[in-house]
Amino acid sequence: MKGFERRKVHKEKNVLWTALGLFKAYGSKKASMSDIARKVGVSPVTIYSHFGSKQELTVKSLSRML
C-alpha cells in the first residue's frame, strides 16, 4: 500500500472510531459532522468526501461494533 492510500485508510479509521465515540456519548443526531471533524483534526468536507453523508458515516461506524 502506498503512502497516500495508507494515510487515507488511517484517516477513515480515525473518523469512524471518533464518530462512534461521539454517537455513543451524544447520540447520532446531536453529534455533528463539525464536531467529528474538529476532534479528528480534519475539515467536514474531508469527511463528506470519504463517506458522502452523515447517514453513511453513521451506518459504517455502527457496523464497526458488530
Give domain limits for the chain: 3-63
C-alpha separations of 55 from 2, 7, 13 in Å:
29, 23, 16
Which residue from 27, 65, 33 is spatially nearest to 49, judged by alpha carbons?
A: 33
Q: Which residues of 4-41 are buried (b: 16+ CB within 10 A; e: fewer)?
A: eeeeeeebbeebbebbbebbeeeebeebebeebbeebe
Rounded to an integer, what distance in angstroms lies between the CA atom of residue 53 and that of residue 55? 5
What pLDDT is recorded for position 64?
Answer: 80
pTM: 0.88
pLDDT band for position 65 (cuts 50, 70, 90): confident
- The mean per-residue pLDDT over the stretch 34-60 comes to 95
- Tens of pLDDT, residue by residue over 11-26, are 999 999 999 999 999 9
Domain 3-63, classified CATH 3.40.1110.10, yes or no: no
What pLDDT is recorded for position 62?
Answer: 87
pLDDT band for position 10 (cuts 50, 70, 90): very high
